[in-house]
Amino acid sequence: MSHSTSCPNIRRIGIMTGGGDCPGLNAVIRAVGKDALGCGLEVIGIEDGFLGLIENRCRRLTSADVSGILTHGGTILGSNNKSNPERHAVGRNPDGSVIHKNVMDECFQTIREHKIEALVVIGGDGTMTGAAKFCKRGLPVVGVPKTIDNDIEGTEITFGFQSAVATATLGLDQVHTTADSHHRAMVVEVMGRNAGWIALHAGSRLGRT
Number of C-alpha atoms within 13 angstroms, CB side, residue 186? 16
Dihedral angle over CA of 111, 115, 118, 124, nearest 10: -40
Kindly list the distances between the CA atom of residue 149 and the CA atoms of 87, 154, 163, 196, in Å, as whole numbers in the listed order: 24, 14, 11, 8
Looking at 149, 151, 173, 180, which residue is catalytic? 149
How far apart are the C-alpha atoms of 193 and 200, rounded to whole Å? 13
58-61/98-101 β-pairing: unpaired
Catalytic (active site) residue 149:
yes
How far apart are the C-alpha atoms of 200 and 150, rounded to whole Å? 12
Q: What count of other Cβ atoms lies within 10 Å of the Cβ of residue 113?
A: 10
Q: Catalytic site residues?
A: 149
